[in-house]
Amino acid sequence: MPTVDDPSFLSRYDRMADRAAAGVISTYSTSFGLSTNLLAPGMRRDIRNLYAMVRIADEIVDGTAAVAGVAGVGTLLDAYEAQVRAAPLTRFHTDPVLHAYANSARRCHFRDEHVEAFFRSMRRDLEQSTYDADALEDYIYGSAEVIGLLCLSVFLSGREVGETAYGELEDGARSLGAAFQKINFLRDFAEDTGTLGRAYFPGTEEELDDRTKDAIIADVRQDLESAARVIPALPLSARTGVLAAASLFAELTKRLDAISAVELTRRRVSVPAPRKTILIARAVATAPRLKGSRS
């Protein structure tokens, strides 16, 4: 018979919270969900816990809260940010996703300044509908690049990495996060402009033309190339999953490049499941052999 101070009580609750967070990524992101399957179990858990927190913040600002009848969406976002940033200080939370996130934040030493930057960008989605180049750069840093940095904290948790090597990995993590964000902006252009009233890329308030689309694609490919240079330096326990995610988004980029800007605004492009399977299998075979890779 367990006693009230039996640690198995908390361990069982931890496992439940992790499963709840895993349900978020399986519902919202097929590609990221598949990629996380290739991570080592502990990393998989922590990345999914991080994703769940980020996804809930996205749902607050992207219309779900408003559809539910929430009048003060900004106030709700402020409250959620306060809960998230304070969460690592407390060992038990009644919200399973917050509980799971807090455990991962403590294990992986998430930096509060990164979380703060993320919520700053989320708040801009409530207050700003168009961006110039500088504002877009700042938005992408908070909405995507710091997520790459938080993921890097998961991948390198408990590992000693030299200052130079860590700086290179940080640059790669930021580049990959930026690439993912920009390609999502392109893929979701119709929804962002038509439903949410947002034009992230300068000069696209009215429409997206082929010249602008081609410039964005070129920028994405440069980011992906920058990230690819440091993927071999990741531990193998993370490398396969990151390579798979990068490959899936590179394929998505190629498919977006193959259609006109007009067509892109009319339909949401995706990578077919059979092609995803091939790319993931290729990542599994390739990752251990990458030049300069470490176990």
Query: Whole-prediction pTM value?
Result: 0.93
In angstroms, the Cα distances linking 92 to 10, 13, 115, 173, 234 are 8, 9, 20, 31, 32
Fold classified for 128-295: Farnesyl Diphosphate Synthase (1.10.600)
Residue range(s) in the chain whose domain bears CATH number 1.10.600.10: 128-295
What pLDDT score does 207 carry?
Answer: 86
Cβ atoms of 224 and 248 within 8 Å: the answer is no
pLDDT tens readout for residues 77-101: 999 999 999 999 999 999 999 999 9
pLDDT of residue 295 exceeding 50, the answer is no
pLDDT tens readout for residues 114-157: 999 999 999 999 999 999 999 999 999 999 999 999 999 999 99
Q: How far apart are CA 170 and CA 155, in angstroms?
A: 12
